[in-house]
Amino acid sequence: MKVIHTADWHLGKILNGQSFLEDQKYILKQFIKAMETEKPDLIVIAGDLYDTSYPSKEAIQLLESTISELNLKLQIPIIMISGNHDGKARLNYGASWFEHSKLYIRTELSTMHQPISFEEVDFYTLPFATLSEMQHYFPDENLKSYDEAVECCLKHMSTGLDKNKLNVLIAHMTVAGGIRSESERPLTIGTVEQVPEKYMEHFDTVMLGHLHHPFSIQSDYVFYSGSLLQYSFSETNQPKGYRRVLLELPHEVKSTFIAMQPLRELEVIEATYDDVIQDRIAVKNKDNYIHFKLSEMSHISDPIMNIKQLYKNVLALTNHSQTFEHQFTDREIKKLSDQTIIETFYEEMTHKDLSEIQKKKVTQLLNDIMRGDNT
């Protein structure tokens, strides 16, 4: 059985005010062409189809048209799960109807025990859920941390596995030791979110979403597909594409990464301001999205407007004429969690510590923000 594993499309993504919709249309058109050649038995999309739980009309239309091409025109079965960026209710709308065309949408924990079967292969789905959602689903388990909750889910799922079949887990999570990037929103606030690989050992292979690097971890059976595009400047050196997975009884799995070429890449350029203006720098493509880290520009007024005359897709400009002290402070701040920054700020402003009630409220608000809850 040939399965295409993809994830983290993040449709509707905006970086520093720049919409990626044109780039996403381009790469999904390439993906559809690749599927015409691949002719897979199944496509798995392991979460974060949208970049926000309230996607734009254009993002929704792009997902609908893409899924229509893949599922209806090419008649490829699809399994998709919700990620931490997706709104469950919006993504799950019409799910019961779509199963008639073999489009399986899983957004709820209640479906984790129900495999989607294709001959000798059973696919189990674990869509993203918060710690509180998993605690509510397992009220008698006394779950205190995110990794404990995921372990509980996986244990309950593994009790129903048919050992005469290939068992595949589709999930959206962070495996311990995985390479992270700036565009991956934390799954939780104030708790451990990394899940040890050993929790998944009952499955023949695991197809994951959330981490954007396709080689985030080194494993014989657990794989990330990575995102289809670079979504932060920390991803500039990461390959992007999808995975081709070949499944064969009794327990043979071969996962191969297939790279794709985007319309534009993200690029980081370190130089002096004068080198940029005089066009004395090497860039891969002048149309790429660029973050300039420039020195010798303290005397320049409105430098980004001048640079945009040459490089229209400048998304960030950093002045590297700063003192060492400021750079050190920036690095230290980046190491702190959102919760710690808020607690420190409150203490400096009021000379008091947050109460336990206040800490819980801050944690709740941050979790809502991470989930994209605008309420």
pLDDT, tens digit, 9 for 90 and up, residues 293-339: 998 877 777 788 888 888 999 999 988 765 434 344 454 555 567 78
pLDDT in tens, 54-93: 999 999 999 999 999 999 999 999 999 999 989 888 887 7
Distance CA 187, CA 362 (A): 15
Tell me what the pLDDT averaged over the chain comes to: 87
Quick one: pLDDT at residue 372? 60
Confidence band, pLDDT 50/70/90 cuts, at residue 17: very high
pLDDT in tens, 37-46: 999 999 999 9
* Token digits of residue 298: 């303290």
Q: Where are the alpha helices (DSSP H) in the chain?
A: 21-38, 57-67, 88-92, 95-98, 131-137, 146-158, 273-277, 303-307, 324-335, 338-350, 356-370
Mean pLDDT to the nearest integer, 154-172:
93
DSSP state of 145: S
The pTM (predicted TM-score) of the whole model is 0.81
Percent of the chain with pLDDT over 70: 89
2-259 has which fold? Purple Acid Phosphatase; chain A, domain 2 (3.60.21)
Task: Write out the residue limits of the CATH 3.60.21.10 domain(s) in the chain.
Answer: 2-259
Quick one: pLDDT at residue 181? 62
Distance CA 173, CA 104 (A): 20
* Token digits of residue 151: 């372990």
Instruction: Check whether 157 has a pLDDT greater than 90.
Output: yes
